[in-house]
Amino acid sequence: MNRNKAGRNILRSVAAFTAVGGFLFDWNKTHLFNPRWTPHAKFHDAMTMMQAALLGSSGLFLLQQKEDGQKELVGGTVLPAFFWIAMASSFAFPGAKGLEAEFPDKIKKVGGIPLNEGVISAFMLGLLALGYVLARKNK
């Protein structure tokens, strides 16, 4: 498999995961069906899930276009990245904490590092950067 194809496959995978990830991880009792959450908090969770679905799907759509389209490649990379940047930067807001604040047993650790939303966001952004570098045309 050539670098361009490998990079595009990485980008498509991240875009697809971005599109469905919110439904996989938030459509449960810790988030959308959490009885302690207010209706407005559930509204924001639903809005976040839909934004991820739209950004990921749009990125995937662009990445399915012609293989040599650099504008499509940039758009297909940046749109899912917007979601992951938003998730990672959310920790900077007052009182904002990840899932481990309420459900510490749900967060796995690898080498003492909690695999929370911040770590996952950084990982996904890293994959997007790698995919983009591999997929872009050599100049």
For the question of whether the overall pTM of this predicted structure is more than 0.85, the answer is yes
Question: Looking at the DSSP assignment, which residues form a beta bridge with residue 114?
Answer: 109
Distance CA(21)–CA(48), nearest Å, equals: 11
* Helices within the chain (DSSP H only): 3-26, 39-63, 70-89, 117-135
Q: Kindly report, residue by residue over 87-104, the tens digit of the pLDDT.
A: 999 999 999 999 888 888
* Distance, CA of 103 to CA of 94 (rounded, Å): 19
Rounded Cα–Cα distance for residues 128 and 98 (Å) = 22
> Domains of the chain: which residue ranges?
3-134
Residue 110 makes CB contacts below 8 A (sequence gap 6+) with none
Q: What is the pLDDT of residues 5-55, one digit of tens each?
A: 999 999 999 999 999 999 999 999 999 999 999 999 999 999 999 999 999
Per-residue confidence at 139, pLDDT binned at 50, 70, 90?
very low
Task: For the chain, give the percent of residues with pLDDT over 90.
Answer: 77
